[in-house]
């Protein structure tokens, strides 16, 4: 058996995507893996947080240490085989030279030297990471995000006169303001998941959008919103992966998604891809999905096929192979790397 310590950032209500992702991975792992999930004691990036979290991680090492993202620096404190997951780059670097230098040094350059293996969640992210740490190119492996088995097909008659449109996320890259502009004058109900900022509320009101807002949802509540909606609008300007696309695919909902970041790679033919920087393109995509039943049904069929690529068991097995390689073994335990 391989014992694996999964290290997570300190829990925060606003951020749980990585925790959900790896909960799905851990649940799908074979009995040959013994997993322990450990959350950091401190949040933030103060020197005290870095020091205390690093000591905590060092005390809880196992055969393999898997850093699941955002606390990359703890790799410097770990002495046993370490796997580092880098979900994206953009969320870490903010264009402030001094701050970004320290982030690159402590979150990317030094941890990349220390880690045995680095995983990323898409080819798009791999390309970004390689540009930042080209010296670690040979360590980097693409392992897609799994789609949780809780997302299952739920048939629904499409409400053509006033479709219920689900919008996930309110961070700037989620592009809510342009989506509101694209929906101006269209009969619909927009359901926004995530805490709204004042300027976003103003944009919704100015564009006459009938909306409801869910600042925070449990996993069950989120699943219910997928089931209730008629389509998902995910016109994001940047994504390291784009999990809502495959979650909508699994439930059987058509998707309008931004042609940016990793989304085209993840969606394939299972979404209506639009230019997320062009309000007119977003509107055209929404109108096409709402008005063309044949196209809508084809998207749903394509989605059911697409989501097979992200089966949890297959994703979990990829991680097992990476753990074996980090330990210098083959998958069958023969000791041949």
Average the pLDDT over 2-9 and give the result: 96
pLDDT digits (tens, 9 = 90+) for 252-296: 999 999 999 999 999 999 999 999 999 999 999 999 999 999 999
pLDDT band with cut points at 50, 70 and 90 for residue 80:
confident
| HSE value, Cβ hemisphere, 13 Å, CA-based, for 205 | 7
pLDDT digits (tens, 9 = 90+) for 235-256: 999 999 999 999 999 999 999 9
pLDDT digits (tens, 9 = 90+) for 11-60: 886 667 788 899 999 999 999 999 999 999 999 999 999 999 999 999 99
pLDDT at 95 over 80: no
Average pLDDT, the chain: 94
pLDDT of residue 14: 66
Please state, in angstroms and rounded to a whole number, the distance separating the CA atoms of residues 191 and 214.
8
pLDDT band with cut points at 50, 70 and 90 for residue 335:
very low
Write out the two tokens for 124.
């798009």
pLDDT digits (tens, 9 = 90+) for 182-213: 999 999 999 999 999 999 999 999 999 999 99
pLDDT at 119 over 90: yes
Q: Which residues are paired to 247 by β-bridges?
A: none
| CATH fold for the domain made of 2-146+311-326 | Rossmann fold (3.40.50)
Please work out, in degrees rounded to the nearest 5, the angle formed at the alpha carbon of residue 317 by the alpha carbons of 262 and 267: 20
> What proportion of the chain, given as a percentage, has pLDDT over 70?
95
Please state, in angstroms and rounded to a whole number, the distance separating the CA atoms of residues 59 and 320.
23
Please state, in angstroms and rounded to a whole number, the distance separating the CA atoms of residues 271 and 306.
10
Which residues, at least 6 apart from 297, have a Cβ–Cβ distance to it below 8 Å? none
> Which residues in the chain are classed under CATH 3.40.50.2000?
2-146+311-326, 164-309
Q: At what angle do helices 243-251 and 219-228 cross, to 10 degrees?
A: 60
Write out the two tokens for 151.
């997302």
Residue 241 DSSP code: S
Tell if the pTM clears 0.95, that is, is over it.
no
pLDDT band with cut points at 50, 70 and 90 for residue 90:
confident
Please state, in angstroms and rounded to a whole number, the distance separating the CA atoms of residues 46 and 44.
6
Q: Phi and psi at residue 24, in whole multiples of 5°?
A: -65, -45
pLDDT of residue 297: 97
CATH of domain 164-309: 3.40.50.2000
Please state, in angstroms and rounded to a whole number, the distance separating the CA atoms of residues 108 and 39.
20
pLDDT band with cut points at 50, 70 and 90 for residue 329:
low
């Amino acid at each position: 058996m391989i014992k694996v310590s999964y290290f997570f950032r300190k829990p925060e209500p606003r951020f749980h995507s990585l925790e959900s992702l790896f909960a799905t991975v851990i649940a799908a792992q074979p009995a040959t893996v013994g997993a322990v999930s450990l959350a950091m004691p401190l949040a933030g990036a103060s020197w005290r947080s870095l020091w205390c979290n690093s000591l905590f991680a060092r005390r809880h090492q196992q055969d393999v240490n898997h850093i699941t993202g955002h606390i990359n620096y703890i790799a410097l404190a770990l002495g046993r085989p370490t796997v580092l997951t880098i979900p994206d780059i953009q969320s870490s670097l903010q264009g402030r030279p001094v701050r970004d230098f320290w982030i690159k040094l402590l979150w990317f350059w030094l941890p990349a030297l220390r880690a045995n293996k680095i995983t990323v969640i898409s080819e798009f992210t791999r390309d970004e990471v390689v540009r930042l740490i080209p010296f670690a190119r040979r360590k980097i492996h693409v392992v897609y995000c799994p789609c949780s088995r809780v997302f299952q097909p739920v048939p629904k008659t499409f409400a053509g006169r006033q479709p219920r449109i689900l919008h996930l996320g309110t961070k700037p890259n989620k592009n809510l303001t342009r989506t509101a502009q694209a929906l101006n004058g269209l009969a619909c109900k927009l359901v926004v998941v995530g805490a709204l900022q004042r300027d976003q509320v103003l944009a919704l009101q100015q564009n006459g959008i009938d909306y409801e807002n869910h600042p925070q949802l449990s996993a069950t509540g989120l699943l219910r919103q997928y089931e209730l909606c008629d389509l998902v609008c995910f016109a994001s300007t940047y994504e390291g992966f784009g999990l809502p696309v495959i979650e909508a695919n699994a439930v059987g909902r058509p998707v309008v998604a931004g042609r940016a970041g990793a989304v085209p790679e993840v969606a394939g033919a299972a979404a209506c891809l639009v230019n997320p920087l062009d309000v007119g393109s977003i509107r055209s995509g929404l109108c096409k999905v709402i008005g063309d039943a044949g196209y809508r049904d084809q998207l749903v069929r394509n989605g059911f096929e697409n989501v097979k690529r992200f089966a949890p068991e297959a994703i979990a097995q990829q991680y097992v192979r990476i753990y074996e390689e980090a330990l210098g073994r083959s998958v069958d335990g023969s000791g041949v790397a």
